Structure 1
Amino acid sequence: MTAIAVFLAATAFFSASEFAIVKVRISRIDALFADRSKRAIAAKKVMSGMDNYLCLCQIGLTASILGVGWLGYGLAKQFTLPIVMHVGFSPGTAETVSMVLTFMSIAFLLIVAGALVPKSIAAQQAEKILLANARWLVWCSRLLFVFIPLFQGSVRFITGMSGVQRMSADSAAHTEEELKWLLSDSLKNGDSNALKYAYAHKLYEFESLNAKDIMVPRTAMTTIEKDTSLKQAIQFVQNEQFTRYPITDGDKDHIVGVVNMKHLLTAFIQDPANGQLPVGIFALPVIQVIDASKASELLLKMQHERIHMAILRDEYGGTSGLVTIEDILEEIVGDIQDEFDTDEIPEVQQLGEGHYIFDAKLLIDHINNLLGIDIADKDIDTIGGWFMAKSFDTIKGQKISEQNYDFLAKEIDGHQLLYLEVQRRK
Structure 2
Amino acid sequence: MVVSDSINLLIVIVLIAATAFFVAAEFAMVKIRESKIQQLINEGNASANKAMHVINNLDGYLSACQLGITLTALGLGWIGEPTVAGLVEPLLTSLGLGKQAVGIVSFLIGFSTISFLHVVVGELAPKSLAIQRAEGVALFVSGPLIWFHKIMYPAIWLLNGAANTLIRWVGLRNIGEHQGIHSEEEIRMLLLQSHEGGEINQSELELTSNIFEMNEKIAVDIMIPRTSMVCMFDDLPIEKNFEIIAQEQFARYPVCLEDKDHIIGYIHTKDLLTICLRNEKITSIKQFYREPLFIYEFTPAVEILQQMQKQRKQLAIVLDEYGGTAGVVALEDVLEEIVGEIEDEYDIDDVPPVFELGAGHYSIDARESIIDVQQILNITMETENIHTLGGWFINQYRGKLEKNAEILHEGYRFKVVEIEGNSIFRFEVKAEQTDEVAPIL
Task: Verify same fold: TM over 0.5.
Answer: yes
Measured against aligned partners, the alpha-carbon deviations of 1:265-292 in whole angstroms (never above 9, x if no partner) come to: 324544634x222x33422222112211
2:49 counterpart of 1:9: no
- The whole-number CA distance in structure 2 between the counterparts of 1:75 and 1:268 is 99
Distance 1:82 1:210, change over 3 A: same
Q: What residue in structure 2 maps to residue 245 of structure 1?
A: 253
Q: What residue in structure 2 maps to residue 193 of structure 1?
A: 201
**Structure 2: any 5+ residue segments left out of the alignment?**
1-8, 434-441
Q: CA deviation at 1:382?
A: 1.8
Q: What residue in structure 2 maps to residue 300 of structure 1?
A: 306
Q: What residue in structure 1 maps to residue 321 of structure 2?
A: 315
Q: What residue in structure 2 maps to residue 366 of structure 1?
A: 372
2:394 counterpart of 1:418: no
Q: Which moved more, 1:241-250 or 1:5-14?
A: 241-250
Q: What residue in structure 2 maps to residue 71 of structure 1?
A: 79
Q: What residue in structure 2 maps to residue 395 of structure 1?
A: 402
Partner SS for 2:191: helix
Q: What residue in structure 2 maps to residue 215 of structure 1?
A: 223
- Contact kept? 1:19, 1:123, Cα under 8 Å: yes
Q: Which moved more, 1:264-273 or 1:346-355?
A: 264-273
Q: Which moved more, 1:359-368 or 1:408-417?
A: 359-368
User: Which structure 2 residues correspond to residues 19-168 of structure 1 after superposition, within 5 A?
Assistant: 19-76=27-84, 78-88=86-96, 90-92=98-100, 94-161=102-169, 162-168=171-177
Q: CA deviation at 1:416?
A: 0.5
Which residue identity is paired with 1:425? E
- The whole-number CA distance in structure 1 between the counterparts of 2:82 and 2:413 is 81
Distance 1:128 1:76, change over 3 A: closer
Distance 1:347 1:120, change over 3 A: same
Partner SS for 1:350: strand
- The whole-number CA distance in structure 2 between the counterparts of 1:48 and 1:385 is 51
Q: CA deviation at 1:73?
A: 4.8
- Contact kept? 2:82, 2:110, Cα under 8 Å: no
- The whole-number CA distance in structure 2 between the counterparts of 1:145 and 1:388 is 68
- The whole-number CA distance in structure 1 between the counterparts of 2:94 and 2:159 is 46
Identity between Structure 1 and Structure 2 (%): 35
- The whole-number CA distance in structure 1 between the counterparts of 2:15 and 2:46 is 27
Q: CA deviation at 1:251?
A: 1.9
Q: What residue in structure 1 maps to residue 346 of structure 2?
A: 340
Which residue identity is paired with 1:313? L
- The whole-number CA distance in structure 2 between the counterparts of 1:110 and 1:158 is 30
- The whole-number CA distance in structure 2 between the counterparts of 1:360 and 1:377 is 15
Q: Which moved more, 1:216-225 or 1:64-73?
A: 64-73
Q: CA deviation at 1:3?
A: 1.6
Q: Which moved more, 1:57-66 or 1:70-79?
A: 70-79
- The whole-number CA distance in structure 2 between the counterparts of 1:158 and 1:280 is 76
- Contact kept? 1:247, 1:280, Cα under 8 Å: no
Q: What residue in structure 1 maps to residue 4 of structure 2?
A: none
- Contact kept? 1:299, 1:325, Cα under 8 Å: yes
2:363 counterpart of 1:354: no
Partner SS for 2:368: coil
Q: What residue in structure 1 maps to residue 438 of structure 2?
A: none
Q: Which moved more, 1:87-96 or 1:319-328?
A: 87-96
Q: What residue in structure 1 maps to residue 6 of structure 2?
A: none
Q: 2:183 aligns with which of 154, 169, 175?
A: 175
Q: CA deviation at 1:331?
A: 1.2
Partner SS for 2:346: coil
Partner SS for 2:345: coil
Which residue identity is paired with 1:189? G
- Contact kept? 1:50, 1:167, Cα under 8 Å: no
Q: CA RMSD in A?
A: 2.3
Aligned residues: 423
**Structure 1: any 5+ residue segments left out of the alignment?**
none
Partner SS for 1:108: helix
- The whole-number CA distance in structure 1 between the counterparts of 2:392 and 2:124 is 57
Which residue identity is paired with 1:404? G
Report the TM-score, using the length of structure 2 for normalisation: 0.89
- The whole-number CA distance in structure 1 between the counterparts of 2:291 and 2:174 is 50
Which residue identity is paired with 2:393? F
- Contact kept? 1:16, 1:122, Cα under 8 Å: yes
- The whole-number CA distance in structure 2 between the counterparts of 1:280 and 1:229 is 12
Measured against aligned partners, the alpha-carbon deviations of 1:335-386 in whole angstroms (never above 9, x if no partner) come to: 1111111221111132222322211111233233323333334232222222
Which residue identity is paired with 1:379? N
Q: What residue in structure 2 maps to residue 384 of structure 1?
A: 390
- Contact kept? 1:230, 1:264, Cα under 8 Å: no
Which residue identity is paired with 2:125? V
- The whole-number CA distance in structure 1 between the counterparts of 2:432 and 2:155 is 71
Which residue identity is paired with 2:183? T
Q: CA deviation at 1:118?
A: 0.9
Distance 1:404 1:76, change over 3 A: closer
Report the TM-score, using the length of structure 1 for normalisation: 0.91
- Contact kept? 1:20, 1:126, Cα under 8 Å: yes
Q: CA deviation at 1:99?
A: 2.9
